[in-house]
């Protein structure tokens, strides 16, 4: 279930996940240092439940950051207008030792503004049983408002020791994975795209208007915008992310379409 890894960029750490833990986490600063060596942490970010509303419409556009120490090791995609988002994203992190907890911070994406904090939690890696998948439920809190209910984040994690392996050896082995595995799971960067608006689009309907939407494609990754009814100057204001893979070029295919109920959609351009 958790047999794949994402390497966000050269030098980024990998992750591990597993086991049923219901905790916000307490500081593990007093926990003795783990045995020397590397650990692989495989994480599946499953979903969020009953997250905090940060937008005027009573909803949020949540995404999640994972940090170890002060370093961000993974960032999820943005789920728009949803307080119960489903991510089902996987990440693989290399961990030097288990003293530092895995911090989870949730934010509401705001176009053109500073993103709003939606709560945080952390996972004490010393509590994970090695080599065993674990379901984790983390209760989100705001240190400034500890009594506020900010919902929960659900993960699945597996922690695996990499005894006797240095960071360089581990990463070189990871890069020798099969082509199929690489295409699915190894990426070197994130392309963040904001679809703002369209202007003077072609009229495709008999009323002199269109119902436009836009499709984006980068390799095997696809994104389809929402449909804007009866307009030639649509305002989308949608943001999404693609992963940039080592073996692929950076060409994004963008096409605009007119939605037609009951028949094939018209190609606008």
* Predicted pLDDT at 246: 57
Topology of the domain covering 21-185: Immunoglobulin-like (2.60.40)
Question: Does the CA dihedral 22-104-8-79 come out positive or negative?
Answer: positive
* Predicted pLDDT at 186: 56
Tally DSSP H helices, then E strands, for the chain: 2, 15
Asked whether the beta carbons of 244 and 189 are under 8 A apart, the reply is yes
Q: Name the band, by pLDDT with cuts 50, 70 and 90, for residue 1.
A: very low
Q: 201-210, pLDDT tens digit by residue?
A: 999 998 999 9
With H, G, I as helix, E, B as strand and everything else as coil, classify residue 185: helix
Nearest to 20 by CA among 102, 127, 119, 94: 127
Q: 42-69, pLDDT tens digit by residue?
A: 999 999 999 999 988 899 999 999 988 8
Residue 47: phi and psi, rounded to 5, are: -165, 170
Residues of the chain with CATH 2.60.40.150: 21-185, 189-267
Q: What pTM, to 2 d.p., does this model score?
A: 0.53
Asked whether the beta carbons of 45 and 87 are under 8 A apart, the reply is yes
Nearest to 156 by CA among 59, 237, 42: 42
What pairs with residue 104 in β-bridges? 66, 121
CA pair distance 191, 183, nearest whole angstrom: 16
pLDDT, averaged across the chain: 78
* Predicted pLDDT at 180: 42
Q: Identify the DSSP state of 240.
A: E
* Predicted pLDDT at 91: 87
Asked if the 189-267 domain carries CATH number 2.60.40.10, the reply is: no
With H, G, I as helix, E, B as strand and everything else as coil, classify residue 227: coil
* Predicted pLDDT at 69: 82
In 3-state terms, the chain is what percent helix, strand and coil (to 5)? 5, 40, 55
* Predicted pLDDT at 68: 87
* Predicted pLDDT at 163: 64
What pairs with residue 255 in β-bridges? 215
The per-residue DSSP string of 173-205 comes to HHTTS-HHHHHHH--SEEEEEEEEE--SPPP-S
Out of 209-213, 217-221, 237-241, give the one with best mean pLDDT.
209-213
Q: 90-105, pLDDT tens digit by residue?
A: 888 888 878 889 999 9
Cα 52 to Cα 65, 67, 76, 133, 150: the distances in Å are: 16, 21, 17, 29, 5
CA pair distance 105, 115, nearest whole angstrom: 12
For 213, other C-beta atoms within 10 Å of its C-beta total 21
Q: 77-136, pLDDT tens digit by residue?
A: 889 889 999 999 988 888 887 888 999 999 998 876 788 999 999 999 988 888 899 999
Work out the average pLDDT over 253-263: 89
What pairs with residue 193 in β-bridges? 240
């Amino acid at each position: 279930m958790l047999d794949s890894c994402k390497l966000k960029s050269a030098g980024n750490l990998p992750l591990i996940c597993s086991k049923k833990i219901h905790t916000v986490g307490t500081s593990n600063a007093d926990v003795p240092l783990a045995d020397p060596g590397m650990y692989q942490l495989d994480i599946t970010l499953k979903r969020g439940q009953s997250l905090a509303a940060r937008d005027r419409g009573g909803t949020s556009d949540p995404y999640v950051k994972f940090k170890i120490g002060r370093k961000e090791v993974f960032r999820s995609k943005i789920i728009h207008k949803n307080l119960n988002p489903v991510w089902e994203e996987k990440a693989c992190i290399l961990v030097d030792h288990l003293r530092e907890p895995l911090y989870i911070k949730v934010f509401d994406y705001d176009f053109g503004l500073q993103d709003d904090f939606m709560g945080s939690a952390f996972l004490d890696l010393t509590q994970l049983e090695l080599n065993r998948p674990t379901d984790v439920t983390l209760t989100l809190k705001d240190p400034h408002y500890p009594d506020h209910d900010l919902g929960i984040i659900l993960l699945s994690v597996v922690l695996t020791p990499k005894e006797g392996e240095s960071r360089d050896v581990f990463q070189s082995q990871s890069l020798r994975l099969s082509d199929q595995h690489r295409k699915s799971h190894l990426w070197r960067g994130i392309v963040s795209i904001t679809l703002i608006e369209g202007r003077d689009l072609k009229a495709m309907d008999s009323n002199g208007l269109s119902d436009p939407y836009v499709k984006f494609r980068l390799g095997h990754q696809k994104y389809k915008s929402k449909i804007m009814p009866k307009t030639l100057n649509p305002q989308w204001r949608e943001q999404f992310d693609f992963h940039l893979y080592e073996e692929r070029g950076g060409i994004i295919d963008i096409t605009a379409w007119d939605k037609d109920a009951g028949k094939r959609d018209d190609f606008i351009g």
